[in-house]
Chains A and B, each alone.
Chain A
Amino acid sequence: MRVHAKRAVALAAGLLLPVTVMAEWTMNMTPGVTSTSNQIYTLHMTILWICVAIGVVVFGVMFWSIFAHRKSRGYKPANFHENTVVEVLWTIVPLAILVAMAIPATATLVEMYDTTESDVDIKITGYQWRWQYEYIDDDFSFFSNMSTPREQIRNRQAKGEHYLLEVDNPVVIPVGKKVRFLLTANDVIHSWWVPEFGVKKDAIPGFINETWTRVDVPGTYRGQCTELCGKDHGYMPVVVKAVPEEEYNVWVAEQREAAETERQLTEKDWTLDELMERGERAYATACAGCHQADGTGLPPTFPALKGSQMALEDMAGHIEIVVNGSPGTSMQAFGNQLSEVDLAAVITYERNAWGNNTGEMVTPKEIFDYKNQQ
């Protein structure tokens, strides 16, 4: 018996251990950092308390009956089964409560729909499984991929503080300005959500949706895709950095410059080692999700690249499928998702990693020419 008891205690302790270690017990909605999210929070709490009050009354009566009107206590049943006044009353009173709930809800909704007079417009496009942000007035755009290493997901490495909620390129917005988001999707429906803004909107292929936010507190805010969009639906986080306006302007200037540098990098003469190094990183974000970090894939849906005939022999076919995708399969067209440099690096990497030692190299210039063949 004693052994059993000890085991039970050990088991219970084992179960409780992570609880005490992490001690993270968020139970309620965040009030957030925008006026919309605050209004939603107030609505949420109001309705919660109304429900609790109704519950206390209704269940109060019920539990009173359960304790007092028991057969085992010899309680004799009454025989009433109708009372028009009561029945009308409990139809009308809830109706009144509902109207009272609907009024503030309507006001909030009207405000949420007011997308006019925005200061910054950002187009957000959902892809399987990354977000693209396009600063419409500033002519630059970038992809935002989850940056949590696969090793952490596979439990081979300790999980970081922002496990699954971190990206390589966060979207940056200025504090105190009205930012309008225009949402669409490339493939399937996604949904862009940042709880602290009280903003959630579906990104629908072929259609454009709009929503807005005005963040008053600088900080980094994290959210996720909330519409099931396939295999890696759980791995496409949203990270927004709200920064003071000056900082934002500097960042925008940097981005525009970086876009220019990217164009120059395409022209640069690359060595195999440089491309391999860059390719490994690009492969990890863009390809490893399906084809796996070791290139073995998950056949039959995601074929292996290690030792594949295409990676070893057919260079033209290899470029073609990476740039244009393979219609009807999960292989997307990366031509518009990755830069020329990254495309070249990825293809070079795939042709030289995991024992695919072809020694062949594809330069950004070649990709550029391929994409612009006249």
Chain B
Amino acid sequence: MSAVIDTHAQDHHHGPAKGISRWLFTTNHKDIGSMYLMFSFAMFLLGGSMAMVIRAELFQPGLQIVEPEFFNQMTTMHGLIMVFGAVMPAFVGLANWMLPLMIGAPDMALPRMNNWSFWLLPCAFLILVSTLFMQGGAPNFGWTFYAPLSTTYGPPSTTFFIFAVHIMGVSSIMGAINVIATVLNMRAPGMTLMKMPLFVWTWLITAFLLIAVMPVLAGVVTMMLMDIHFGTSFFDASGGGDPVLFQHVFWFFGHPEVYIMILPAFGAISHIVSAFSRKPLFGYASMVYAVGAIAIMSFLVWAHHMFTVGMPLAGQLFFMYATLLIAVPTGVKVFNWVTTMFRGSLSFEAPMLFAVAFIILFTIGGFSGLMLAIAPADFQYHDTYFVVAHFHYVLVPGAIFGIFASAYFWLPKWTGYMYDETLAKTHFWLSFVGMNLAFFPMHFLGLAGMPRRIPDYALQFTNFNMISSVGAFMFAATQLLFLFIVVKCVRGGEKAPAKPWDGAEGLEWTVPSPAPYHTFSTPPEVK
């Protein structure tokens, strides 16, 4: 530990190292944050191109482009890469960059571990992506990898998939420990818990969720590994196991996981809505309690993903009621955001556009979630495109728009330049239209009876699939524009002041733009 302090002392004199070693060995939270964000964007493009393969195949009925076997690999890899490679690392990147700046700390609490937790990720994904080139192909059992399709009937590459999941689990856990230690120990004097910015609060709660459920994921893939290689039968009925047990354990991880992907966005959106409404956030305390309530309840609703497995009536009812209950704190958050905007002085720069779209579209995703929670109706929705529409509505305009909003909001702070507002607005509108075009028709497809994860479909689903594919291509192409905007912003532009948004609040706006390599070596005083 003392070595860490020494490095710090040296850094104060030297600034960033030169060349590749700056990135390989860096312990600077800003460098690591940037690397996380870049990695996440690369994964976003990779996972996105897999989605394009899926949408291209589904453009018309019949098999045109890929074989069903490869199609299944694409749906699986798309899901895994987007969840573990794009969304989660993006939020860790934002946390790395912003948490120390928001709480007035010089760096993350555990900088060495920070470096480690980042560099594990490319290793994990190298392994995962390499399975595409292995004998028998990549994992093809869906990102939920239900046993026994993933155990007894899995391809040989399943072992590598398990290994990759273990590594990303370790990375996430280290990241979470770092966030907890930073938030608990490194806050500037005077910043009590209830004075923390909401992004810090939501990330703290997310970190606890990660600590609680990533080990369960590690456990479930370890059980798979043992079933495949060591002759146990956790999930194999022939040896006395139970395939449904897999689903219970998986969703015990999986449901909190969906909140891991959305809670940090809740925090960031709260800052952005308040900044561009030029009005303090409505109901700060209730926001904190709502996030806490959502996090706790997320442990009690997992089996709503399994209404069709044949649970007894009492189980169905319990999970239906518990799931409906989650709508209450989620509703509180939406009401708070809307009330924050109400009678504010609104302006619509790119971050605000993404934030407003987030609120509207995430709420639509919430509504379909409410419908899915109704167990009897779920018998018709379950495993259809209605579910696909639902979770893409909470994840794309939820998590991804939340990340875009945050990126535009803090880009001036990161680069020292303003991004190109016209291009950013174009990016928003094209994304908005493309995203809705891609995912809204999926509601109709699901209700009309199209199951998910099929490479080919009956003729009555043709029209909406076509529209959906066109929207998806449009959304995907638009993301290259985002890359261009960011590169342009990094290379220059209008100089950004310390506080480019007149309504923004928080310590991060007290340091110059771009934020110097070392900030808050002397902690600020918080009133």
Contact = CB atoms under 8 A, between A and B. Distances in A.
Interface of A: 15, 18-19, 22-30, 36-37, 39-40, 43-44, 47-48, 51, 54-55, 58-59, 61-62, 64-66, 69-72, 75-83, 86-87, 90-91, 94-95, 98, 101-102, 105-106, 108-110, 112-113, 128, 152-155, 159, 161-165, 187-189, 191, 193, 195, 198-202, 204-207, 209-210, 223-235, 298, 300-301, 330
A167 to B, nearest CB: 13
A188 B63 CA distance: 24
Contacts of B343: 65, 69, 75, 77-78, 80
Interface stretch (B7-15, B406-414, B441-449, B519-527): B441-449
Contacts of A193: 451
B375 A77 contact: no
Given A78-B279, A81-B281, A91-B328, A204 B243 contact: yes
A159 to B, nearest CB: 6
B338 A58 contact: yes
Interface stretch (B67-75, B120-128, B392-400): B67-75
A271 B316 CA distance: 57
A165 B449 CA distance: 12
B474 interface: no
A22 B377 contact: no
Given A69-B345, A75-B345, A90-B331, A109 B72 contact: no
A125 B272 CA distance: 54
Contact of B69 (A188, A225, A231): A231
Contacts of A188: 146, 148-149, 152-153
Contacts of A106: 317, 320
Given A40-B380, A47-B371, A90-B332, A159 B237 contact: no
A230 B141 CA distance: 7
Contact of A229 (B149, B334, B449): B149
28 contacts: A23-B463, A40-B380, A44-B374, A44-B380, A58-B363, A62-B341, A65-B342, A66-B356, A78-B279, A79-B279, A80-B282, A81-B282, A82-B284, A83-B283, A101-B374, A105-B320, A113-B316, A154-B63, A187-B152, A188-B146, A188-B148, A200-B383, A207-B310, A224-B454, A230-B72, A230-B149, A234-B455, A301-B137
Contacts of A232: 68
A305 B184 CA distance: 65
B313 interface: yes
B459 A204 contact: no
A108 B375 CA distance: 9
A71 B347 contact: yes
Q: How large is the interface on B (under 10, 10 to 19, 20 to 34, 35 or more residues)?
A: 35 or more
- Per CB-CB distance, the 6 closest pairs between chain A and chain B, nearest first, are A206-B237, A234-B454, A209-B310, A26-B448, A51-B367, A77-B345
Given A47-B374, A69-B343, A71-B347, A109 B332 contact: no
Contacts of A48: 371
A87 B328 contact: no
Nearest to B277: A77
Interface of B: 60-64, 67-69, 72, 135-137, 140-142, 146, 148-149, 152-153, 237-238, 242-244, 277-286, 308-310, 313, 316-317, 320-321, 324-325, 327-328, 331-332, 334-335, 338-348, 356, 359-360, 363-364, 367, 370-371, 374-377, 379-380, 382-384, 444, 447-449, 451-464, 466, 470
Contacts of A109: 313, 316-317, 320, 375-376
B376 A43 contact: yes
Contact of B284 (A81, A83, A209, A235): A81
Nearest to A107: B376
A246 B351 CA distance: 68
B346 to A, nearest CB: 5
Contact of A224 (B148, B346, B451): B451
B470 A15 contact: yes
A71 B345 contact: yes
Nearest to A24: B460
Nearest to B290: A91
B97 to A, nearest CB: 27
B370 to A, nearest CB: 6
Contacts of B347: 70-72
Contacts of A164: 61, 456-458
Given A19-B466, A230-B153, A66 B238 contact: no
Given A24-B459, A164-B457, A228 B346 contact: no
Given A24-B463, A65-B342, A77 B279 contact: yes
Contacts of B328: 91, 94-95, 98
A53 to B, nearest CB: 11
Contact of B142 (A210, A228, A300): A228
Given A71-B347, A81-B283, A98 B383 contact: no
Contacts of A191: 308, 382-383
Nearest to A164: B458
Given A105-B377, A231-B72, A187 B148 contact: yes
Given A19-B466, A72-B347, A226 B141 contact: no
A98 B444 contact: no
Residue from A29, A80, A154 whose CB has the most chain B CB atoms within 10 Å:
A29
B325 A98 contact: yes
A110 B371 contact: no
A163 to B, nearest CB: 5
B149 A228 contact: yes
Given A47-B374, A90-B332, A28 B447 contact: yes
A26 B244 CA distance: 34
Contacts of A152: 62
A77 B328 CA distance: 28
A226 B379 contact: no
Contacts of B68: 231-235
